Amino acid sequence: MRYMILDFNNVLHMAHIPATQKNPGPDNNMVIRNFLGMLSKYIRIHEIGSLIVCIEGVPLHRQEVMGEEYKAGRQQKTTFKWEQFKRQMRLLQSMLTKLIPCVVIRHNNLEADDSIYEAAMILGNEVEGAEDILICSSDRDLIQILQEDTKVPIRLWSPQQKDFRECPEVAYLPMKALQGDKSDNIDGVQGIGPKKSERIVREGIDKWLEENPEYQELYDRNIGLMELRRWAEIPGECMVSPSLWRFSKSRFNVMMESIGIGIGNDIGWMTPSFERLRVSRAFVAAISVQAVSGVEDKDTTDS
């Protein structure tokens, strides 16, 4: 079976095109329509058999290091249009497993990237019958996953670039730690970009740090911030929510009509993609073990 691990927020933001912002209000749910249309297209072109959707949590361990500076460069949006976008985001999250067969997962103290990593490692090493794993996200941090040793091949497809990310020949995480990440407001070593960081890592990062000890603390901090984490590493509540039934075209139409997106909005073409999806019970069982472990770790920490 071919699996897709979907970065929910990444694709949802792509669905928030200017046309969806016209006449915003509780009756305008076109972001949801665009998201489902994009998702159905991705399922079709990549011939996906099973879908896992990863939702954002709050990365407390990263915020403990940087405080409010973590991702502070990102614009805080408080307009009425933005509030309507967030309303649709919450509505879609609550409806997703009722609309289409999928598994929605979330760790409340980790980002979606980390949950994508968790899902990929479970599928890549533990689930029988997984033949191919495709991660759907434009986030370059997920390149780390391509360098993991797994039994099943993992590919990273960027919906923004409409192409697959290549796996670097040298370790990605040390290169990124030297460069920093402007999108997350993480400073790197001044004057070091992609080419120079690749050369440093290729020649030996330990040697370079010995010659430049003043950057050791910054490098170690950035590794800790950028490294993807497994669920068992960070205490917190975990959600594993699988669909309980197969896709029903009639139920899909009724639910879409209930939020003002019915047959008149041309949604029928989406259904063949969703009809092909099946929930992987093997994956649900495997990741549920990790979810329970995360809760147990949290209880131990709080006691």
CA atoms of 289 and 15, how far apart (whole Å) = 33
Secondary structure letter of residue 19 according to DSSP:
G
As to burial, measured by CB atoms within 10 angstroms (0-12 exposed, 13-18 middle, 19+ buried), residue 68 is exposed
- 125-175 pLDDT, tens digit per residue, is 999 989 999 999 999 999 999 999 999 999 999 999 999 999 999 999 999
Residues in the chain predicted with pLDDT less than 50, given as ranges, are 295-303
What pLDDT was estimated at residue 28?
Answer: 85
Alpha helices in the chain, H assignment, sequence order: 8-15, 30-46, 60-66, 80-99, 112-125, 143-146, 172-179, 194-203, 205-211, 216-226, 249-258, 271-275, 281-302
CA distances from 206 to 85, 180, 198, 298 (A): 46, 18, 13, 35
Same fold: 2-167+235-302 with 169-227: no
Integer Cα distance of 76 and 31 in angstroms = 19
**Rounded to whole angstroms, how far apart are CA atoms 138 and 10?**
7
Between CA 77 and CA 70 the distance in angstroms is 16
CA gap 189, 192 in Å, rounded:
6
Query: Concatenated DSSP letters for 165-229?
Result: PPPPSS-HHHHHHHH-BGGGTB---TT--HHHHHHHHHH-HHHHHHH-GGGHHHHHHHHHHHS--
169-227: in CATH 3.20.20.80: no
Please identify, in words, the CATH class of the domain defined by 2-167+235-302: alpha beta
pLDDT of 301 reads: 37
Per domain, the residue ranges of the chain are 2-167+235-302, 169-227
Instruction: Name the pTM for this structure.
Output: 0.91
Please state, for a pLDDT cut of 70, what percent of the chain lies above it: 89
* Half-sphere CA count of 303, side-chain side, radius 13 A: 6
Say if residues 31 and 17 touch (Cβ distance below 8 Å). no
